[in-house]
Amino acid sequence: MSGKAHLSLIERAKKARLNAFAPYSRFKVGAAVLSGSGKIYSGCNMENASYGLTVCAERNAVAAMVAAGEREIMAVAVVTDLKTPASPCGACRQVIAEFGPGAKIVMANLKGAVQVRSLSALLPLQFKKQKK
């Protein structure tokens, strides 16, 4: 994945972040998923007064991809306003692994800092359903 592709994914995640619904934490997150077809799907976090029902930006972006009929993730970008880029939470890592066990994870902040890791580096022991 080229630097230009990273920037495109980051820009889409930044744009999605603007729509985040985070009245409780005030922690807005945007995500963008690059699918196997080359299309980009974005999502933002959506909090709920019943905190356990909050949905992360990454899972919303993956859900948008799946709703469009796609099943392969090549890369995911996550954008926050933290001092250093943030990685997806454990639940999001596992959801990404379902469709992109070899995906690249691009983590960025609003100041231009970027880190890229493989999903396998962030989630070395991915859960996989055992075949009988």
Please confirm, yes or no, whether 58 is among the known catalytic residues.
yes
- Bridge partners (DSSP) of residue 114 are 108
Whole-number pLDDT of residue 18:
98
CA-to-CA distance for 80 and 101, rounded, in angstroms? 23
**Which residues, including other chains, have CB under 8 Å from residue 110's CB and lie 6 or more apart?**
14, 79, 80, 81
CA-to-CA distance for 103 and 89, rounded, in angstroms? 15
Task: Write 114-118 long-range contacts (CB < 8 A, 24+).
Answer: 114/6, 114/10, 114/85, 115/84, 115/85, 116/1, 116/6, 117/87
From 22, 18, 15, 20, select the one nearest 40 (Cα to Cα).
15
Q: What are the structure tokens assigned to 130, written together?
A: 């055992």
Residue-wise pLDDT for 9-54, tens only, equals 999 999 999 999 999 999 999 999 999 999 999 999 999 999 999 9
Q: Where are the domains of the chain?
A: 3-122
Judged against a pLDDT cut of 80, whether residue 100 lies above it is answered with yes
Domain 3-122 CATH assignment equals 3.30.450.40:
no
Predicted confidence band of residue 114 (pLDDT cuts 50, 70, 90): very high
Average the pLDDT over 71-99 and give the result. 97
CA-to-CA distance for 29 and 31, rounded, in angstroms? 7
Q: Considering 47, 58, 70, 98, which one is annotated as catalytic?
A: 58
This prediction's pTM = 0.95
